[in-house]
Amino acid sequence: MRPEVTLAIDTSAAHCAAALLFRGREVEAFEEMATGQAERLMPMVEALLAGQGLGWPDVTLLAVGTGPGNFTGVRIAVAAARGLALGLGVPLVGVTSLQALRFGHEGALACLDARRGAVYVQGEGAAALAEWEELSGFSPAFTVGYRADDLALRFGGTVLPTPSLVLNIARVAAAGQGGAPAPFYLRGADALPPSDPPPVIL
C-alpha cells in the first residue's frame, strides 16, 4: 500500500495556502494576497509537492478549506480541489475554517471576522453568523481566532494561539473528520426580489 499523502488547499481569505501531511511530516506554503489566488494556487502546490520529492500522483487524500470567508476566494479553492479530485481519482473532503480553528480542542469557541461588525462563530453547537455585540450564551473552555482575547474576557476560557488554518484543514481531513467539499457561506447571496410588481392581468 502506498503511504498516505494528504494535500490541503485554502483560499478562503486574503491568502493562498497549501499543506502536506505525509510520513509524519507536516509542511505548508502560505502567502498573503488579496487577489491573484486563481493564478498562484496551482504553481504554489506544485512547488510544495516538488520540494518534498512528490508529484500529483502521490496524493491520496485531498482537503479544501470551505470558508466561511470571501465568497470568490472560497470558490477558487473548492473548484480547483474538485478538479483535482476528478483528475486524480482520490477522495476530497471539505473542512470549514471554524472546524479547523477548533481542531484538537473540543470545548473551544472559534471566531472569524465577518466584516460589517459581524463574526462567524462556532462553539459546541452549529456555526453561525452573528453581530459581535450580540454574542451571548457561551461558556467555552478555550477561545481561538479573531478577537480571541476579547472573547475570553467576555465568556471565560483560555486563549489558544491561532493555529495554521491550512495545516489544521489537512489534519481534520487526515483524522477522517472532513465534510462535503462545498462552499460554506453562512451569509446569503444578498439578492433582492424585483421592486416593481407585475401588472394585474384582466
Which positions lie near other proteins, rule CB under 8 A?
38-39, 41-42, 45-46, 56, 71-72, 75-88, 182-183, 185, 189-194, 198-202
Assess contact for 175 and 100: CB atoms under 8 A. Answer: no
Q: Nearest CA to 168 among 8, 1, 4?
A: 8
Environment class of residue 22 by beta-carbon count within 10 Å: exposed (0-12), middle (13-18) or buried (19+)?
buried
Assess contact for 6 and 22: CB atoms under 8 A. Answer: yes
Q: Which is nearer to other proteins, 77 or 148 (CB)?
A: 77
* Residue type present at position 127: A
CA–CA separation, 24 and 144 (whole Å): 25
Strands 92-95 and 108-113: unpaired
* Residue type present at position 106: E
CA–CA separation, 3 and 55 (whole Å): 13
Let me know the angle formed at the C-alpha of 162 by 132 and 186, rounded to the nearest 5 degrees.
Answer: 45
CA–CA separation, 85 and 182 (whole Å): 13
